[in-house]
Chains A and B, each alone.
Chain A
Amino acid sequence: QQQVKQSPQSLIVQKGGISIINCAYENTAFDYFPWYQQFPGKGPALLIAIRPDVSEKKEGRFTISFNKSAKQFSLHIMDSQPGDSATYFCAANDGAYKYIFGTGTRLKVLA
C-alpha cells in the first residue's frame, strides 16, 4: 500500500520529442505528488508537484497529469532537450513528513 510504482525504468527520446514517465499508487491517503530530477553525483531536486484536486499542472515544458480515479499520475516533458537527461523520481506524501519515492526513470535525450 505504501509503494509508488514507476515506469519505464529507462527511456530514450530524440531531441524535441516528448518524454512520458508514469507512476501509480495504492494509498488513497496520499495527497501531494512531487517529481524530482536527479543528475549524477547530485541530490534530487524538486521539479514540479501536484495535489489531487487538479487534473493537470504545467510549468514551462513540464506537465503533470493526474488521474485520481485510476490512482495514476505522469510527467510529460515537451520538446525534450539533451540537458534534460537525468533520472526522474515520482514521489507521494500523505500530508505528514514521510515521502515514498518511485524507483526512478533514467532519461536520455539524444542530440
Chain B
Amino acid sequence: GAGVSQSPRYKVAKRGQDVALRCDPISGHVSLFWYQQALGQGPEFLTYFQNEAQLDKSGLPSDRFFAERPEGSVSTLKIQRTQQEDSAVYLCASSLGGPGETEQFFGPGTRLTVL
C-alpha cells in the first residue's frame, strides 16, 4: 500500500474486554511509533520500535498496554482489561530511518470507545 494503514478503524469494547489494534507501516520503514490522541488533544507518544526492537515504551499508560512488532513490519497494540479512560484515537506512524528528524507518516488511526 501507499501509506500507513490501521485496522480496525473503529472499535467499541465493553469495559474489561481485551482489544488488539493493528498497524501496517509503509514497506521498508525502519521506525514505527504508536501515539494516543485524546479528544481535542495532540498525539501523545506511547512507544517506539526500530525494526523489531522496542526501544522505548515509556509512554505506555499502564501494564495493561502491550505492543509488539515481531518481524519488524506489522505491529499490534494490545490493551488488556480496557477501562473507560482508554477511549481515544490510537495513531500509528512510521518513518524510513532511525532516530532523527525523518518524516513520520501517520495512519488514519483506530478510534477506541470503551463503554
Majority SS at the chain B contact face? loop
Chain A residue nearest to B49 (CB atoms) is A97
- Give 1 or 0 for each of B87-110: 1 = CB within 8 Å of chain A CB: 000010100001111011011110
Write out the residue numbers on chain A whose beta carbons fall within 8 Å of the beta carbon of B106.
36, 43-45
In contact, A97 and B56 (Cβ under 8 angstroms): yes
Hey, which bits of chain B sit against chain A, CB under 8 A? 4, 31, 33, 40-45, 48, 50, 55-56, 91, 93, 98-101, 103-104, 106-109
Which A residues, 82 to 100, have Cβ-Cβ distances below 8 Å to chain B? Answer: 89, 91, 93, 95-100
Our pick among A43, A100, A103 for the contact of B109 (Cβ within 8 Å) is: A43
Our pick among A45, A97, A104 for the contact of B33 (Cβ within 8 Å) is: A97
Given contacts A43-B93, A43-B107, A97-B33, 17 further A-B contacts (CB under 8 A): A32-B101, A42-B108, A43-B106, A43-B109, A44-B43, A49-B101, A89-B42, A91-B42, A93-B101, A95-B101, A97-B48, A97-B98, A99-B45, A101-B44, A102-B42, A103-B40, A103-B41
CB distance from B42 to the nearest CB of A (A): 3
CB distance from B89 to the nearest CB of A (A): 9
Q: How far, in whole Å, are A57 and B102 apart by their CA atoms in the complex?
A: 18
Query: Could you say which of B44, B45, B50 has the most chain A C-beta atoms within 10 Å of its C-beta?
Result: B45
Pair count A-B, CB < 8 A: 59
CB distance from B61 to the nearest CB of A (A): 16
CB distance from B108 to the nearest CB of A (A): 5
Q: How far, in whole Å, are A108 and B89 apart by their CA atoms in the complex?
A: 22
Q: How far, in whole Å, are A104 and B38 apart by their CA atoms in the complex?
A: 11
Query: Could you say which of A6, A89, A97 has the most chain B C-beta atoms within 10 Å of its C-beta?
Result: A97
Query: Could you say which of B40, B50, B56 has the most chain A C-beta atoms within 10 Å of its C-beta?
Result: B40
In contact, B44 and A98 (Cβ under 8 angstroms): no
In contact, B41 and A104 (Cβ under 8 angstroms): yes
User: Nearest 6 CB-CB pairs, A to B?
Assistant: A43-B106, A101-B42, A32-B101, A97-B99, A96-B99, A89-B42
In contact, A43 and B91 (Cβ under 8 angstroms): yes
In contact, B101 and A89 (Cβ under 8 angstroms): no
